[in-house]
Amino acid sequence: MPAGRASVVCFTALDDNGHFDTYWVLHPAREHQRRCPTPDQHTYELTA
């Protein structure tokens, strides 16, 4: 499955299950952690 299509399927499933809003709140924080890791990142937990 092409990457773009997989993303659409994922977003559709999130929306159908009522989890899209929660995902959209946590996504920027996860992306920031992925792109800008800190040396001690393993000692912190993401909470929302």
> 11-22 in b/e burial notation, b at 16+ Cβ within 10 A?
eeeeeeeeeeee
pLDDT at 32: 84
Average pLDDT, the chain: 81
pTM greater than 0.75: no
Q: How many CA atoms lie within 13 A of 5 on its CB side?
A: 2
CA distance 25 to 39: 24
Residue 25 has pLDDT above 70, yes or no: yes
Indicate the pLDDT class of residue 48, thresholds 50, 70 and 90. Answer: low
